[in-house]
Amino acid sequence: MTQTESEKYLTNLCRRSFLSLWSHPNVFTDEGRIGNKGSGRELCDLLVVFGNDVIIFSDKHCVYKDTGDTFVDWPRWYRRAVRASFRQLYGAEAWLRRFPKRLYVNSNCTTPFPLKIPSGVETRFHRIAVTKGSLDPCQQFFGGKSLGSLRISTDPTAGTAGYFPFTVHVGEPGKPFVHVFDEYTLDVLFAELDTVADFLAYLGKKEQFLAGSDRVVSVDGDEQMLGVYLKKLNAAGEHDIVFADEIPANVDFVHLQEGIWEEVSVSPQLRAKRDADRISYAWDRLIEHLANNAQAPPEGLGTKPESYADGLELALRTMAAESRLSRRQLAAALIDVRERSGPRSAYARVLMSDSFRDTAYVFLAEPRPPQESYADYRNYRLARLSAYCKVAPLKAPNARQVIGIAFDSVDPSRRGGSEDVAYLEVGERTLEMEQEAREIQKQFGILQDANVQQMHVRGQEYPDSPADALRIEVESEQRDRAQAAKTRAREKAKKKWKETIRRLSKARNRRKR
């Protein structure tokens, strides 16, 4: 199906922020097909499935017909652009809840949707109506003194004839919350909240603010709430919009006026954050690269292709669930590991996620011997990465999952390179697991106490100076200090790694039985 320019624009925004593995435009159902004939029905304009979170987008670009009577023109546009999106979003959600397996990426319904639609009480649906066509008429209505974004009101009569023009409601009465973004607020929100973690966190706080009480709330555009959200932190250290104790209980009406975003958007603090975040986009590019170039595991590792694919998606999804601030720190650590390596010098680091206290990462820069084929090198490097992931919980006792990323070490004489990713679910710790990890630690000579140095990677979200943006001061890391000893250990490990992997695989199979 051919996308409109508006739909293409939305797709590009979502794939940049939520990444392409989880963002799918123009999804179809098999409703209406008879005997494998006919075309399916479009479910929505774009669907994001990210673990237990499902984001449904409806995109409506409707021309605002100006007859000179705003109180006639506005309700007409609202019906075609906003209420039509409400109907599509509610219908799409109902279908996904009832028929999660009857979903396809093409109108002929021959290619199933590649991700599993979650179900159960932990599933979270987010409904977003993207409306276009109101920006210029809105600016004209307010005499050029407005940014042109649609107002938001929790008054159920918002959007009807006679209600204040260019104001939208948060869904149909008695039905779930719908976020309405116009062409201005869409760009602002995706510019400042360009990870799935940051975007969903804002949506949650926005819903709490607008629908969390019986009072009527009016806001002069989503960007004004965003301005408050970026400035405020609650007691838990989370960004928030309005604290409960700031609004007296007897207040029946709350209004956020224009001017908040206009001040925040040009602040030196936000500008410093944007500058500090530049390094974090290396993390985004890595996820996209790994997703687009995923390969089956090398032979001999005992991993089934389907379980490898599931583990890869879970590893990449965990990486993509990191906030922008956390990605800043992870990307800096990853780059630092590579820069500390050399043509004959490996370097590894184990660090905990700043967003998820149960997630550890292993970064491994591994050199390629001059006479070794690249295929053999990849096999050996992936075996080393697997070993590091199994030993990492000894250095990160709180880890319940470990994600390993291996890549070529720095070598000016060689061009190109590759990356490998591994995922390990630690689960409940047992004495047998610890013994296995210590045996691997000894076998490969990795992450031994004598070679481990403690460091910290921290940074301020809104730095006062470049030095505050990122400080590499923590995590467990290992560098082979004696090159001769390292070379001997490497040659010895190369001969034994296949035998070790086979033995560990047999041990896992015995435990499963």
pLDDT by residue, tens only, the chain of 513 residues:
678 999 999 999 999 999 999 999 999 999 988 877 888 999 999 999 999 999 999 999 999 999 999 999 999 999 999 999 999 999 999 999 999 999 999 999 999 999 999 998 999 999 999 999 999 999 999 988 899 999 999 998 898 877 899 999 999 989 999 999 999 999 999 999 999 999 999 999 999 999 877 889 999 999 999 999 999 998 888 999 976 667 787 888 999 999 999 999 999 999 999 999 999 999 999 999 999 886 554 443 334 444 556 778 999 999 999 999 999 999 999 999 999 999 988 999 999 998 999 999 999 999 998 888 999 999 999 999 999 999 999 999 999 999 999 999 999 988 889 999 999 999 888 888 899 999 999 988 888 876 776 555 566 888 875 555 555 444 455 554 444 455 555 556 556 665 666 666 666 566 555
**Whether 127 contacts 50, CB under 8 Å:** no
Question: Rounded to a whole number, what is the largest CA-CA distance in the chain?
Answer: 85
Alpha helices in 212-280 (DSSP H): 222-231, 260-264, 268-276
> Which pair of tokens denotes residue 241?
């919009």
**Any residues with CB less than 8 A from the CB of 459 and at least 6 apart, and which?**
276, 325, 328, 329, 468, 469, 470, 471
Q: What is the pLDDT of residue 394?
A: 92
Q: What's the rounded Cα separation, in Å, for the pair 352 and 361?
A: 6
Q: How many CB atoms lie within 10 A of CB 81?
A: 25
Q: What's the rounded Cα separation, in Å, for the pair 158 and 168?
A: 6
Looking at this protein, which amino acid is placed at residue 408? D
Q: What is the pLDDT of residue 308?
A: 58
The phi, psi pair for 300, rounded to 5°, reads: 100, -5
Q: What is the pLDDT of residue 498?
A: 59
Q: What is the pLDDT of residue 470?
A: 53
